[in-house]
Amino acid sequence: MGRKQTGRAKGASDGADAGRPLLPDSLLGLQYSYATLRPWPNLLFVLPMIAVFEWGIYRTQNGTPGAASQLVSAYLIERIVIWLGAGRFGYIFPALALVAILLASHLVARHPWRINPLVLVTMIGESLVCTIPLFAFNRVLHQALLAGAPQWHGGWGPQAIRSLGAGLYEELVFRLICITALDILLVNIIRAPRSASRLFAILLSAALFAGQHHPPLGADPFVLGDFLFRTVAGIYLAILFLYRGFGIAAGCHVFYNVIVVTVTSLRV
């Protein structure tokens, strides 16, 4: 009995390694620092954000969801779905994909369903704290807190809704899908060293994340400072994703975007 508990504790200490999930009955698996790495708490954390974004887009687009969300990440998923012949439901598929991936990951790993509600509250606080390095680097790089911020048009409401969706679906595409797929390819199939594979995945996903804001996919004209900031931001968010979980990375991204558009709206 004592040996089994020791083995689980050792596995828990490697919580950042997605390849070694905690057992469902592990007490450590219910603690905050480990709970944020699990799919079920992450899903519960982002579910209200998904609902607000989808409802907001539906209302702002006069009952035609997804008609002009202006999100490259969501657009890429929608194009794939339409190409597969499910165009009628393409607009909602990014949200369904995010929910399905997290829920399926939870079921496959057989993690516990129990969760302390304080975990979700604490995740909000941690996500807000994690925005500080992004603001600090943005200020250092641009000598102005909001320089290089997304230039969205319209009132605060539509801007805030789009910024919320950008945080969610960019984390879905460039962290959850991209980094996970690269990890499976490099580590499980090619058998490359995990540390080198993880570094490559972080850098590539960050570069793709920064590049998608500019033509041919994005609408922002290429500015080296903006590209550099987004690349570093992508590296930072990738590290959060790997070591603090999808929910914290998405929450940090969402809160940063919403704070930026809110302050921008107040200053106009």
The CA distance from 114 to 34, in Å, is 13
The pLDDT score that the predictor gives to residue 123 is: 96
The CA distance from 175 to 180, in Å, is 7
DSSP 8-state secondary structure symbol assigned to residue 153:
-
The pLDDT score that the predictor gives to residue 213 is: 82
The CA distance from 21 to 43, in Å, is 17
**What confidence tens digit (pLDDT) does each residue in 169-203 have?**
999 999 999 999 999 999 999 999 999 999 999 99
The pLDDT score that the predictor gives to residue 30 is: 59
pTM, two decimal places: 0.80
By CB atoms closer than 10 A (0-12, 13-18, 19+), residue 204 is middle
Q: Tokens 């165009």 identify what position?
A: 87
Contact 106, 247 (CB under 8 A): no
Per-residue pLDDT of the chain (268 residues; tens, 9 = 90+): 443 333 434 444 443 444 444 444 455 555 888 899 999 999 999 999 999 988 887 776 654 444 444 566 666 666 555 544 445 555 677 888 899 999 999 999 888 888 889 999 999 999 999 999 999 888 766 644 444 445 555 577 778 888 888 889 999 999 999 999 999 999 999 999 999 999 999 999 999 999 888 887 777 788 888 889 899 999 999 999 999 999 999 999 999 999 988 887 776 5
The CA distance from 40 to 55, in Å, is 22
The pLDDT score that the predictor gives to residue 145 is: 42
- Per-domain boundaries in the chain: 19-267
Contact 258, 135 (CB under 8 A): no
The CB-side HSE value for 57 (13 A sphere, CA atoms) comes to: 22
The CB-side HSE value for 233 (13 A sphere, CA atoms) comes to: 32
Contact 237, 109 (CB under 8 A): no
The pLDDT score that the predictor gives to residue 214 is: 82
